[in-house]
Structure 1
């Protein structure tokens, strides 16, 4: 059976409590998220030089919780901001927990942007650990998006009667309890950014947060936002046109991360795993989805780059179909980061793959 990856969220609350003490001991000298001042030329006494050294303009220090917010803040903020993302390239956000230096970085920021909607399961304890004298503005970027219940898209399991053990407890109850223990209990689907419609709301919230933190450059943020908004609206129109023309509406994915995409563009998401990609489906779940795939003419099973494709391949082999990448855009791979790949690039690639798979 497929082996779960090792997740460390069990100790999140305890670890973050310790981080408060560590961050306090770190001082301001470990400001990984701050702007490093440029070295000033030597001005020795008796040099005869009275020309003042030009100081570079200080930029707004922004810290983001994951890649899509980093992209939006960078695009809208432009030359006025220095954006640091907490999660490094190649790390799946569900695997990540903050460290003491992350608390220091957030404490020294002018603006800390996190997504909300249950994505950052560590956020409450993290914010308690931020330095008491921090002047950082904290903003939740998903405000205003109509959120989806975490159980709304389990279509392939709706008719299944749940197995019970000798004590009368269902496997579903056991799995839900395990998710809560590991900090992955999602009453809400947090993956808003995979839909251009939701990305437009995120972008507006990021713009407003930048303007609040740096009102002197609010007009520049507004101008950059308008340009980005036009790109996101064009992306939305491309998704509308492309996905309205496909004949196959069933989207079979390894990770339940495309609910907003499915809702906004008329698709039906069927996922092998749950909202957190560490969930382990039962053998009968795989068999049931394989039957669904065969009966409904599904041609591809989608998997994501930052998570093992073993389950997707298992299901594809069982159903006699192929696999294809559908990126949940939770983060970049190291190769994508080095190549300068952006959120828009990945969203366009997703659309091309969707149109191919669902034709």
Structure 2
């Protein structure tokens, strides 16, 4: 069932009327650094890498929270209001347009990191997805929704980093050279990651991998693989019985030995299919957020993506 964001817009209006009235724009923190608010983990990590010492970067969506259905609190809205820069991916954060409108700030620079990237279509609307977004991001003309998971493609991640760097330079021209230098340094690491994926996945025995939800389409396309998702773009979606039967049939026919699940979502569907076909399960992390343990263990985008590569190589060579 499709979700509507109308009630959220009403909630935002109430928040801004009761709490944000009188809040002034804060172009910089008390220490003189940019006050940058990001939405979920990849946006936080990319922005932090580019900003370096010139900004205080925070993420609205906390560790361990699944971002698809997350909604901002009054405290979060205050942060949005006072941000000098706001960074979001696009599509995932269906609440953003209403939040930015309600928490008005004429001086705030808004960066949509996926802007300019050609987005892939997701599953048809009737199969369910759990997203709702606006304007040209709402849906493709044939009724399919658009896939937001561009950050999982190391090549497209580089484009997002560039877009973030350009936005920070606009907000803080005095340090634009540093933002460019930081972005280039991080992009070099993303290029190395891309090389690892491309080299490692060229000669795998099989090209198909089964995932719990449709998050790895861009990665699969980039490296000549085929993602076979159990559910749609929303990780909480449970597939219909006939879809489950199709996946089981596909997995048996292709002798799939690993079903991938993710860290922030109940793996019961993946485990059910794995049990049915006598396969094992493993983690393929969509990096929609890190768990508290992952953060404590100092994992980041690069380390998790390398873990994803190892998991893919193992499964595709079985």
- TM-score, normalization: structure 2? 0.90
Q: Distance in 2 between matches of 1:76 and 1:30?
A: 28
**How far apart are 1:114 and its partner, in Å?**
1.0
> Counterparts of 1:36 and 1:137 in 2: how far apart (Å)?
15
Aligned pairs for 1:40-59 within 5 A: 57-59=31-33
Compute the RMSD of aligned alpha carbons: 2.6
Partner deviation per Cα, 1:23-70 (whole Å, 9 max, x = no partner): 343248989x99774xxxxxxxxxxxxxxxxxxx41001111111010
Matched residue of 1:241: which SS? helix
> 2:130 and 2:12 mapped to 1: Cα distance?
24
The residue that corresponds to 1:158 in the other structure is none
Matched, 1:254 2:212: yes
**Ranges of 4+ aligned residues in structure 1 off by more than 4 Å:** 27-31, 33-37, 178-186
Scaled by the length of structure 1, what TM-score is found?
A: 0.80
1:71-110 equivalence runs, <5 A = 71-110=45-84
1:219 deviates by: 0.5
Give 1:25's aligned residue. 18
Q: 1:263 to 1:314 in 2, by over 3 A?
A: same
Q: Which residue of structure 2 aligns with residue 167 of structure 1? A: none
Is the radius of gyration larger for structure 1 or structure 2? 1
Quick check: 1:106–1:136 contact (8 Å CA) kept in 2? no
* CA distance, structure 2, for counterparts of residue 180 and residue 65 of structure 1: 16
Which residues of structure 1 form unaligned runs of 5+? 1-6, 38-56, 153-171
> For residues 344 and 198 of structure 1, what CA distance do their matches in structure 2 show?
14
> Is 2:234 aligned against 1:276?
yes
Cα shift readout 1:222-275 (whole Å, capped 9, x = no counterpart):
111111011000000000001112111001001110000111000111111100
- Asked if 1:146 is matched to 2:139, the reply is no
1:122 CA drift (Å): 1.5
Question: 2:23·2:81 contact (CA, 8 Å) conserved in 1?
Answer: no
CA contact 2:29–2:35 (8 Å) conserved in 1: no
Report the equivalent of 1:61.
35
Contact 2:248–2:276 (CA under 8 A) maintained in structure 1: yes
Alignment size in residue pairs: 309
C-alpha spacing 1:220/1:147, structure 2 compared with 1 (3 Å): same
Q: 1:292 to 1:233 in 2, by over 3 A?
A: same
**Residue by residue, what CA displacement relative to the aligned partner does 1:141-190 show, whole Å, maximum 9, x if unpaired?**
101222111139xxxxxxxxxxxxxxxxxxx84x54x8578999761011
In the alignment, structure 2 segments of 5+ residues that lack a partner are none
Equivalents in 2 of 1:59, 1:28: separation in Å? 24
3-state secondary structure, aligned to 1:151: strand
Q: How does 1:189-338 map to 2 (within 5 A)?
A: 189-338=147-296
- Following superposition, the deviation at residue 101 of structure 1 comes to 1.9
1:355 aligns with 2:306: no
**What is the deviation of 1:22?**
2.0
Distance 2:29 2:193 in 1: 36
In structure 2, relative to structure 1, the CA distance for the partners of 1:256 and 1:345 (3 Å cut) is same
